Amino acid sequence: MNNNETEHVECLIIGSGPAGYTAAIYAARADMKPLMYQGMQPGGQLTITTEVENYPGYPEGTDGPKMMEDFLAQAKRFGTDVRFGMATKVDFSGPVHKVWIDDNKLIEANTVIIATGASAKWLGIESEQKFNGFGVSACAVCDGFFYRGQDVAIVGGGDTAAEEASYLAKLCKKVYMIVRKDELKASKAMQHRVFNTPNIEVLFNTETIEITGEQTVSGARFKNNSTNEEFTLDITGFFVAIGHTPNSSIFKDWLEMDENGYVKTIPGSSKTNIPGVFACGDVQDHIYRQAVTAAGSGCMAALDAERYLATVGIEA
């Protein structure tokens, strides 16, 4: 097929990962013949997660890339048309939704399921990427268990960082909370929790210079911006909790979003403000952000899409 040709489908899934793949499984089983474009990071954030031990059905645990391969294989088994490519523009003005892939291929879809996820914000230092998945993580709830009884650091000063520091404190021997400013942005309740936890030490006016180690993290160098003094901490885990950015920018002219760019869905559903367009996973969930909740919302999106097709009289 020529890239400039228009293709019409009943169900287009934008993005992969637990939400997208689960939506594909349900949509394919409902004979909606879903077409999926995987996006820039096929499999989503789990592809940079080494070990997954909290997803049901894997009693011995698994690693993120293998788990996403399993999801993909199951989606393909039921007939999902999975392709490489990224949605770059949309037009949701009519009953048939238009989505351009890689700027030149037009897909017209009766239903669209958005599962583009969110990207963790990183500090941007070279060593952070070097040790990503080998001591560096953006999810304390996902990976904190592996640092039981060890010393770790977490960067951030907001509610998420405070909450994750408190979570880590239950598992780890010592938690250093690295805060760039001279105060926490977190709510007063979360601040009280942090300051009243004996094994959390908050280091204000502090920036990370470098994360150190051989194969895995064994320490990090920091700088106190008040004194310009540099110092080193012996840690085995380095957590970044400075926020996430939902991958929703191409939808901003069409879909209702909150102030941070997360797509708003009608409570108890995956429905957006545009009929026939549904959102699932981390692009609309800034609270839980877990593989299992993303998968659940992907199921909801496929069921909502199937019911929409039946309601408007389009055969799925």
Element (H, E) at 14: strand 6-14
- Rounded to 5°, the CA angle 228-154-56 comes to 165
Q: Which of 63, 70, 139, 299 is catalytic?
A: 139
Residue 125's identity, in one-letter code, is I
Look at residue 77 and give its three-state secondary structure. Answer: helix
Region at 57 (left for phi over 0; alpha for psi -120 to 50; beta for the rest): left
Q: Which of 143, 282, 285, 304 is catalytic?
A: 143
Cα–Cα distance list, 122 to 62, 131, 226, 238 (Å): 25, 12, 23, 12
Q: Which of 142, 172, 280, 282 is catalytic?
A: 142
Cβ atoms of residues 126 and 26 within 8 Å:
no
**Annotated catalytic, 142?**
yes
Residue 111, exposed/middle/buried by CB under 10 A (0-12, 13-18, 19+)?
A: buried
Helices (H), the chain: 17-29, 64-77, 126-130, 140-143, 159-171, 188-195, 291-311
Picking from 295, 274, 287, 277, the residue whose alpha carbon sits closest to that of residue 246 is 287
Q: Enumerate the active-site residues.
A: 139, 142-143
